[in-house]
Amino acid sequence: MTTIHLAIFGIGNVGSTLIHQIQKIKSELLKSQHIAIKIPVIANSTLAFFADDNEMNWKLDFEKFSEPYTIEDVIYHFEALNIEHAIAVDVTASDHFIAHYETLIESGFHIVAANKVANTLDYNFYKRLRNVLKANNKEFLYETNVGAGLPIIETIKGLRQSGDQITKVKGVFSGSLSYIFNQFSEEELPFHQVLNNAVNQGLTEPDPRDDLSGKDVARKLLILARELGIEAELSDVKIESLVPKQRNGNITQQQFNLQVQQLNGVFGALKSRLKNETVLRYVGLLNVVDGSLEVKLVAEPKASPLGQLKGTDNLFEIYTDAYKVQPLVIQGSGAGKTVTARGVLSDIIKLSTHLQKFYIGRFV
Ligand SMILES: NC(=O)c1ccc[n+]([C@@H]2O[C@H](COP(=O)([O-])OP(=O)(O)OC[C@H]3O[C@@H](n4cnc5c(N)ncnc54)[C@H](OP(=O)(O)O)[C@@H]3O)[C@@H](O)[C@H]2O)c1
């Protein structure tokens, strides 16, 4: 039997769902694959709960017994337990937490992350992190960084390793922007109403300009580019922001919400200029041949896979030497706590299976 100990950082939407999903599959995983998963540390930005393992009542335990902590406290706690393999799970959205990655790796932890920050900082950091992982014989999995639970990174890695040359990746990479333009194209509604529908359903960030700015799509595109060996920076991504300049940094979120009807003119005009049987889609475009990265609003034929998108679906078209004319297409829900937590769990199980097969060494 192989025992995997997890330190879970972040107990928001994804983190809480992940813990619930782990509790549900635990006994089956032990029975079918002889892998035991334990969660001795659960933490948010300020408090941590330390135990031998966490059970179904972890929320109550966390409320009652959690305490202020440092990353060293987590490492000491793991050292004190009889640990075979340790994984730090980053389900925060924190810029600060990634500063702990090196310490954690050097202290014996593998990393699984939904947090995109470590893969989208400057290329020097990206490279250094991989060097630290290699030097310490540790793994870093982050499938949910792009497309939530969809197997995008794994597919791209697999194609690359098999020698199939990827030439282009194009798609709708954002659940919220997918919803907004799918609705706006289908329904006779003004843009502000579609945007408000997305906000009210919790599909956007609290400030919808974070979605409309295109930065989140740009980050995902950058992650894919780097996965393909392109040494790009976020500033290399050409972004067509959907937030008019005068409504960006210089007004508050509240003022933006009050003025949101003024976006109707711009988007209404774009829609009325569309040719027959075309729809608007906000796409990411990675041209591997010339190394260009672009995020923009385009008109797509209604009958194309992108034109037929529904709801909050993401869609990735991957063009390669083997998939030259008809791309390999991956489509499905690209956001939401359930699919994202499932993707993180899948990374944990993949890593656990790998550790079971290949690592005899103990947590050091
Ligand atoms: N939700 C989705 O659909 C989705 C899809 C794909 C990827 N993701 C990614 O998944 C991650 C989590 O998303 P979420 O929706 O679960 O976020 P969330 O609900 O805002 O939860 C974030 C959690 O992280 C904790 N946290 C923040 N800074 C921390 C720090 N320095 N150390 C330890 N914990 C810290 C927060 O604790 P406090 O409460 O103390 O601040 C909170 O528990 C994000 O990176 C997001 O981009 C989410």
Render pLDDT for 197-246 as a digit per residue (tens, 0 to 9). Answer: 998 888 888 788 889 999 999 999 999 999 999 999 999 999 999 987 76
- Which pLDDT score, from 0 to 100, does residue 357 have? 85
Mutate to test the pocket of ligand 1, among 41, 59, 67, 91 (most ligand atoms within 8 A of CB): 91
- Which pLDDT score, from 0 to 100, does residue 116 have? 95
Among protein residues, the one with the nearest Cα to ligand 1's atom 2 is 336
Question: Closest ligand 1 atom to the C-alpha of 115?
Answer: 45
Among protein residues, the one with the nearest Cα to ligand 1's atom 23 is 10
Question: 138, 170, 220, 337: which is the annotated catalytic residue?
Answer: 220
- Tens-place pLDDT, residues 158-212: 999 999 999 999 999 999 999 999 999 999 999 999 999 998 888 888 788 889 9
Mutate to test the pocket of ligand 1, among 46, 90, 92, 342 (most ligand atoms within 8 A of CB): 92
- Tens-place pLDDT, residues 301-360: 999 999 999 999 999 999 999 999 999 999 999 888 999 999 999 999 999 999 998 766
Domains and CATH numbers, the chain: 2-148+339-358 (3.40.50.720), 152-334 (3.30.360.10)
Residue 53 pLDDT exceeds 90: no
Question: Catalytic: 168?
Answer: no
CA torsion sign for 224, 228, 232, 237 is: negative
Residue 132 pLDDT exceeds 70: yes
Angle between helices 215-227 and 152-161 (to 10 degrees): 30
Distances (CA, A) of 197 to 183, 184, 240, 310, 364: 9, 11, 23, 15, 50
The secondary element (H helix, E strand) that includes residue 5 is strand 2-9
Phi then psi for residue 201, to 5 deg, are -90, 5
Please report, to the nearest 10 degrees, the dihedral formed by the alpha carbons of residues 291, 292, 295, 301 taken in order. Answer: -90
DSSP string, 32-85: HH-EEEEEEEEE-SSEEEE-S---TTHHHHHHHH-EE--HHHHHHHHHHS--SE
Tell how far the Cα of 14 is from the centroid of ligand 1, in angstroms. Answer: 7
DSSP string, 319-331: EESSSSSS-EEEE
Q: What is the mean pLDDT of residues 20-33?
A: 96
